[in-house]
Structure 1
């Protein structure tokens, strides 16, 4: 256990020094495997099982992000993106775009959950970033805050998170929903305002050259498509690959119609998780095929393969290090401890949480802090949901031992776990957002720290005053 936490400390130090901790996580997984199994060959097998389990969990997202990037590349190459985002491009103020994208993602996430929602919105986000003045990093911060931080912390539509917290803590679902409302609203408002401020600072500090070029062309007036090609350095395309305006319009209308039908299907069919990912992925693939054939059916064999290769290459480059890091933190969870190390019992992070709860003097202050620590440790696996059973169980045990209600503690653990995964775990939700916005997950996390701390501080203070 000590070796495991020593490597966690090294990973945190590496991140703080802006270094990628991939090799540390890989060595840590191998070292813990060897020490735990008592065999070098057993440790090697455990390390590979950790990678394999994590890759299997992330594979639907890797494929979905790859398809979204491939489709976005096709839309840019055919200039169809200009039709799709033309209404939004009329909003020249980056501040409006921040709130618009945030509210859109919040709405989608409430019905679809964050990962399918941000992937669905990615078809709009990527062209929006390429052809507007908004900072990709600033927008990414907002997507983390709205997409998972606010939407999943309450999860009032699907009610997966509160149901899990309620069952783990042994309390009624209605109590969790009612108690979480002020925490979710208050923390969300504070975090989104801080995120907006950080986006505006980032806006002034760093506007990519291609964005400036695109906007100079757009703001100087309509000067024809020949000038647009000159400025649009992100979408180089040969003249013989241009499609007629009518085909672009057909493709744009078809894309919008397919995605609207997908949203209706997801809502009325109550599809969640992998089922929702499959729907979005299938629709994205359909649009990609249609666009490739409409562009030039004679070259569609080669063009389609090129788009797929580009999208999957980008997705694999983003998620390859995440597989390694998440595989290491998988050892801290119950499922990882059993499936990777082949032992029965709680994972290393869970063991630490239970030990801490047994040596600290219990009152409402220490109980709240222990639940928050437990939630943060659990969320380090890259899944806020994975921390909810642990946080709920700790809340119930501490509440009973201290003679206080477990409901506020369970809600605090729920909000803390979701916000942690949403904001400050580079291999968690920020990794998905980074893939959609084509930014670095580590950079997003550094900007997310302040909104995350503010959200957690508000939640802690509100919980303490609720007793």
Structure 2
């Protein structure tokens, strides 16, 4: 039995304050740091330790994000090397033929990211596909911020919430729901996934079509590649063919060897590094490439850190809501504050079909606010198992419903620090992308909740 204490109410109040500040379009670094101090002091009773907790929280948050920072940095470095060589022009030439306007670009980019994400994982898929296809999409008229929206909604939403191929998400949900395998979750999530995806993408598309051209600020560096310093037609053609082939081979290995998450991201990042080195040598020579590769790597990491610096601080506060990271930050005896709130709410509300849907929605939303869609899945599965033993309700359906809501909120669509991969590739602000996603995702969630009330 979970009881709420001062720390839980303080955390809720701070989240509300941060939400209000975000709605006012102001930065939230300051309230996040102060929030960490407040929570740290309440938990420890010591100002000195609370001050130390600021550092610990930022370090924990940095560790959580470092993988994305590195892969973005390496892919950015590879992209610069391909650009200097001129190979990127050859790679995206056939794609440009498909992307004749922003409408077609919206769906071509989205479908490509979805299919790729099913096989390798959304983060590396977004970075890889975005680096190759976003310039062509922007040139066709798709605004950069909306290109980032497409990457997020299709990759972190449509693909990640279903996870039909790698099955990491349904496996976690099914295990904690005490189900024999993930197939039941996959089967029962289809109607929820379909409604959520169709409604969200449709609303996003309508909003994109209504986007005023005067509101679009395009970074010319995205659509205007630098001219190669040396005409090397053979090298261009070699790398234009080798680059997509290398990443297709990565996908084959990822599927064949069952790489999931960090393993697939590592393969993508390592491949990007090798391509960067080869491009540098082909564009200059081995001796000159010694300094060129250093330049690419430094610029890549500068770009990645520039995007992530504020996100790491903001994430540091919200990681207090997750059970695993809360222990790392606050110390032994800490629990996930958001998880506690969810369990408490579930224990205090009388159960019926309607209240179960409401509780699962509320809990999934709270868990998603941590910015990690997967962190909430164990509780989603556990609650589904509890509900099914208390009232007559389909355990697989309610678990699948919770999985869809949790991942769409926390997986990388409306939480600013979880959309940084797409925002970084498109060179726009993460908060701008998250704000554009809020209305489509909210409409999708409402439609999915209505469906759950009907079919459960």
Same fold per superposition (TM over 0.5): yes
Cα RMSD (Å) of the superposition? Answer: 2.1
- In the other structure, the counterpart of 1:382 is 371
Q: 1:102 aligns with which of 110, 115, 118?
A: 110
Distance change >3 Å, CA 465–CA 285, structure 1 → 2: same
How far apart, in 2, do the equivalents of 1:140 and 1:206 lie?
Answer: 15
Structure 1 residue 205: deviation in Å?
4.4
How far apart, in 1, do the equivalents of 2:138 and 2:187 lie?
Answer: 41
Q: 1:426 aligns with which of 406, 416, 421?
A: 416
Q: 1:111 aligns with which of 110, 119, 123?
A: 119
Structure 1 moving runs of 4+ over 6 Å: none
- In the other structure, the counterpart of 2:4 is none
Structure 1 residue 177: deviation in Å?
1.8
Structural mapping, 1:313-352, within 5 Å: 313-344=302-333, 346-352=335-341
How far apart, in 2, do the equivalents of 1:32 and 1:393 lie?
Answer: 27
Q: 2:145 aligns with which of 130, 137, 144?
A: 137
Bigger mean CA offset, 393-402 vs 133-142: 393-402
- In the other structure, the counterpart of 2:3 is none
Structural mapping, 1:48-447, within 5 Å: 48-90=55-97, 91-129=99-137, 131-172=139-180, 173-202=182-211, 204-208=213-217, 234-237=224-227, 241-297=229-285, 298-344=287-333, 346-421=335-410, 422-428=412-418, 430-447=419-436
How far apart, in 1, do the equivalents of 2:64 and 2:217 lie?
Answer: 34
Contact 1:34-1:40 at 8 Å conserved across structures = yes
Structure 1 residue 406: deviation in Å?
3.0
State the SS of the aligned residue for 2:242: helix
Distance change >3 Å, CA 423–CA 130, structure 1 → 2: closer
Gaps in structure 1 of 5+ consecutive residues: 215-231
How far apart, in 1, do the equivalents of 2:343 and 2:218 lie?
Answer: 51
For normalisation by structure 2, the TM-score amounts to 0.92
How far apart, in 1, do the equivalents of 2:187 and 2:233 lie?
Answer: 52
Structure 1 residue 383: deviation in Å?
0.6
- In the other structure, the counterpart of 1:217 is none
Structure 1 residue 431: deviation in Å?
1.6
State the SS of the aligned residue for 1:384: coil
State the SS of the aligned residue for 1:34: helix
Q: 1:6 aligns with which of 13, 16, 19?
A: 13
- In the other structure, the counterpart of 2:42 is 35
State the SS of the aligned residue for 1:47: helix
Distance change >3 Å, CA 111–CA 235, structure 1 → 2: closer
Contact 1:138-1:198 at 8 Å conserved across structures = no
How far apart, in 2, do the equivalents of 1:337 and 1:149 lie?
Answer: 26
State the SS of the aligned residue for 1:427: helix
For normalisation by structure 1, the TM-score amounts to 0.90
Bigger mean CA offset, 145-154 vs 242-251: 242-251
How far apart, in 1, do the equivalents of 2:259 and 2:249 lie?
Answer: 13
How far apart, in 1, do the equivalents of 2:427 and 2:313 lie?
Answer: 20
Contact 1:76-1:127 at 8 Å conserved across structures = no
How far apart, in 2, do the equivalents of 1:267 and 1:119 lie?
Answer: 18
How far apart, in 2, do the equivalents of 1:233 and 1:180 lie?
Answer: 39
How far apart, in 1, do the equivalents of 2:414 and 2:34 lie?
Answer: 22
Contact 2:109-2:137 at 8 Å conserved across structures = no
